[in-house]
Amino acid sequence: MAIIVDVDVMLARRKMSVGTLAERVGITPANLAVLKNGRAKAVRFTTLDAICQVLECQPGDILRWEPDGEGPPASG
């Protein structure tokens, strides 16, 4: 997929856990994990807004586009 989700990067910069972010955003840790791991098919703007508010960042700090085949190597 060409959209890369960098929530982990912002969590590390803010020294915040996934559980804390999920609680403050108002979503389940499982749903946040789906987004964080790049498996989400969509994200609501209200959720994106809440994530940006909690992490004090811009959407471009957690979402970026890369042409197919240029993202991080798949683990497996």
**pLDDT for res 68:** 81
Q: What is the pLDDT of residue 1?
A: 56
Q: What's the fold here for domain 3-64? A: 434 Repressor (Amino-terminal Domain) (1.10.260)
Which tens digit of pLDDT belongs to each residue from 10-69? Answer: 999 999 999 999 999 999 999 999 999 989 999 999 999 999 999 999 999 999 999 886
Is the CB of residue 62 less than 8 Å from the CB of residue 7?
Answer: yes
pTM attached to this predicted model: 0.83
